[in-house]
Structure 1
Amino acid sequence: MTVVDTRGPRETRAADGASRRPRRGAMRRSAARLGWGFASPALLLVFAVMIFPIGFSIAMSFSNVNVTGSGFQLNGFTGNNYSILFHSARYIHDLEFTAIYTVVTVTVEMILGTLIALVLERLTHARAWLMALLLLPWALITVVSAQLWSYIYNGVYGVFDAIMNAVGVHNLNVLGTPTQAAVAMGVADVWKTTPFVAIMVLAGLVMLPGEVVEAARIDGANGWQTFWKVRLPLLRPALAVAVMFRILQAFGLFDLPYVLTGGGPGTSTESLALLGYKVLFNDVLFGPGAAIAASTAFIVLVVCLLFLKVFRTQVGEQED
């Protein structure tokens, strides 16, 4: 007896698709399990190196920490560590200084880095050499570059003081006054980290579609209009990544003030990270020190999440 398939082409395709879907789902689940298996060693390492210390610091910040001769003990839950911080004028000052320092230095670095990237984009033959030279400050360890700038700013044998004496400005103690010390530290930071921003922006410029820029020029837009109306909006992803990395680094500022100024004069250039170090290791106050570290990480997380939300909203409006 011959069985005749009376289904039409559409019904046949639907039945074949339904039979293939379970197989595809099983293959996806198998690939996902294989991927998690390969990634598990790296994830365990990240947990051991990053997640566990962060979690332990948060637990320590909410605990009564008793320091003994053999170490320290966590005894009970408390919010007193954070109460001490929020009622401390020194913590508030360091928070304000770190926030202002981050905003100013990141803004200057973004402007200078974008300008340098625009110049590098127009170069052809010497771009590789200039990029290599540009990355030298970024390649230096921050402690080394901070020590280099301390020699430059030295009031006895420093290059900066010699230049100021040559132009008629004498006895300029750069690191001896709060405002000048903060500016000097910002200059050293901008010198080191602007190349990173320039490379990030240059990568975004290289990836821009040339047809869009060419269409804007055909429509009569000049160079400034093309950059401001066409290229800059397309550069938002690269700029967002650069800003996020710089916020993370600048808000965790430690090396420069530790080597260059020691947080001085007084506590005028003391960052939150440096304050946490002093409270933890100089004053041996593990609870408040952990609270400083946890609050700093929380502030950076909130700022980055808000920045990402605003960035996604702008990109969504641009696509609409």
Structure 2
Amino acid sequence: MSAPSLTRQRARVGWFLTLPALVVVAAVTIFPVAYSVAISFTRVGLTYDGLRVEDWTLSNYATMLGSSAWREALVFTLGYTVVTVAVELVLGIAVAVLLDRLEVGRGWLLALLLIPWSMITVVSAQLWGYLYNATYGAVTWGLGLLLDEPPVILGTPAPAITAMAVADIWKTTPFVAVIVLAGLVRIPAERYEAAEVDGAGAWRTFVSVVLPALRPVVAVAVLFRVLQAFGIFDLPFVLTQGGPGTATQSLAMLGYRALFHDLDMGMGAAVATATGLLVLGCCLLFLRVFRSHVDEAGEGGAT
């Protein structure tokens, strides 16, 4: 059998073996997404028999783009994503560098570090809700010792946003730290030795040696965290219910309320579709950045 024929046969076997998984993916992912996109272009009525498409229209998107609620949710989601991911990246790199320098107890510290990340977000949000409670919360009590009158943390927009960001940073910084630590342990010792021979100090070594080598893993960490933060739902749903008012209402919560509170299927699908397109744009942007960083790292290693 010739090499091209053998390659084609292996390809057919590969497609045959992966076909069941592809069918499952299509059933639970592709079809619901396509159905949601189609519904977003309709005006849907609810009957005793289920959904009834009354009209095909672009009015859902026109109403959504002209809605102040959508703009506020978009601004909040974007700002929340940028701030939390930036803080998590800085803290994650710092924690990873600390763990990389440890020679004793690294395993125990890493296990403790992963406890927040391993907690279900709903449970984590409920825990922080107890801490922020205006009556018996430990955080409220601590602020009462420092301030004349402790704030109602979850009842005021700025403190509520800050409190939610703190809860998210506490939970997801370990994820960033573990990814960065995986990149740190792969840096050859010869690079540190060469920097030391050149007379570089600790900070100069970090900037010139460590950060360039960490670009690919940092890009991956940022990509995953941006996707998670942009689609945040469970944390504000449990912690603040999108309040006070709509101060912490994310795009995901806005779509949820349109679907299940207002029973406006078309509007909810439009919000979900628009959010998905924004997330897709972020994916493509970060994949491009990630690819360029991999090329830079490869060129640096070759030289």
1:137 aligns with 2:116: yes
Alignment of 1:52-71 (within 5 A): 52-71=31-50
Structure 2 CA distance, aligned partners of 1:234 and 1:228? 10
- Stretches of structure 1 that go unaligned for 5 or more consecutive residues are 1-21
Cross-structure match for 2:82: 103
The 8 Å contact of residues 180 and 217 in structure 2, kept in 1 or not, is answered as yes
Highest CA radius of gyration, 1 or 2? 1
Structure 2 CA distance, aligned partners of 1:225 and 1:171? 43
Q: Alignment length, in residue pairs?
A: 299
- Stretches of structure 2 that go unaligned for 5 or more consecutive residues are none
Alignment of 1:1-320 (within 5 A): 23-316=2-295, 319=299
| Structure 2 residue matching 1:266: 3-state secondary structure | coil
| Structure 2 residue matching 1:83: 3-state secondary structure | helix
Give 1:37's aligned amino acid: F
Structure 2 CA distance, aligned partners of 1:251 and 1:25? 45
Cross-structure match for 1:15: none
Structure 1 CA distance, aligned partners of 2:5 and 2:239? 59
Once the 2 structures are TM-superposed, how far is the Cα of residue 212 of structure 1 from its aligned partner?
2.2
RMSD: 1.5
Once the 2 structures are TM-superposed, how far is the Cα of residue 75 of structure 1 from its aligned partner?
4.4
Residues 248-292 of structure 1: per-residue CA shift (max 9 Å, x gap): 100001011111111111101100000110110000000000000
Structure 2 CA distance, aligned partners of 1:302 and 1:241? 15
Cross-structure match for 1:12: none
| Structure 2 residue matching 1:124: 3-state secondary structure | coil
Give 2:37's aligned amino acid: I
Give 1:112's aligned amino acid: L
Structure 1 CA distance, aligned partners of 2:6 and 2:103? 48
Give 2:75's aligned amino acid: E
Structure 2 CA distance, aligned partners of 1:38 and 1:216? 50
The 8 Å contact of residues 141 and 150 in structure 2, kept in 1 or not, is answered as no
Structure 2 CA distance, aligned partners of 1:223 and 1:120? 16
Structure 1 CA distance, aligned partners of 2:197 and 2:5? 52
Residues 128-161 of structure 1: per-residue CA shift (max 9 Å, x gap): 1111111111111101000000000001010011
Once the 2 structures are TM-superposed, how far is the Cα of residue 312 of structure 1 from its aligned partner?
2.8
Structure 2 CA distance, aligned partners of 1:99 and 1:89? 15
Residues 38-67 of structure 1: per-residue CA shift (max 9 Å, x gap): 111111111111111111111111122222
Change (3 A) 1:226 1:171: closer
Residues 141-193 of structure 1: per-residue CA shift (max 9 Å, x gap): 10100000000000101001111222344231111111110000000000000
Structure 1 CA distance, aligned partners of 2:100 and 2:184? 7
Structure 2 CA distance, aligned partners of 1:173 and 1:114? 33
Moved more, 213-222 or 96-105: 213-222
Once the 2 structures are TM-superposed, how far is the Cα of residue 122 of structure 1 from its aligned partner?
1.0
Give 1:218's aligned amino acid: V
The 8 Å contact of residues 232 and 250 in structure 2, kept in 1 or not, is answered as yes
Structure 1 CA distance, aligned partners of 2:275 and 2:260? 17
